[in-house]
Amino acid sequence: MHKTFFAAIAALLLPAAAPAQSTPRPDPLDAKAATAPLVHRSALSAYKPLAAESPAVAWRDANDAVLRIGGWRAYAREAAAPAASSPASATPTPAPEPRSSRPAAPPSGHRH
């Protein structure tokens, strides 16, 4: 019964959509066919130079600052935070202490 109902509704609505397609499309092979005017928007129109945002910092100082605020996890929390909170007002979480200065050993089943 549901199939018959939906088929009847579709049959009633289908002819109503036909008048909306009464304007023919221009022939794409006709060089003289009317087309919409081209609008150029530069991808660089909203560009702000980096100097406008913040002064340059030595890479070691930048790396130390990232370590102080908690590394990449701090940036991940900042990206996941609601838009209402601003990063300037949020207090950074201190970085966890490293467990060991040695690199981690590869898994036992790992072979090259």
Give the integer Cα–Cα distance in Å for 68 and 95.
6
10-19 pLDDT tens trace: 777 666 555 5
Domain boundaries, the chain: 56-89
Give the integer Cα–Cα distance in Å for 38 and 43.
15
pLDDT at 55 over 80: no
23-42 pLDDT tens trace: 788 888 999 988 889 999 99
Give the integer Cα–Cα distance in Å for 65 and 58.
11
Give the integer Cα–Cα distance in Å for 107 and 69.
30
pTM of the model: 0.27
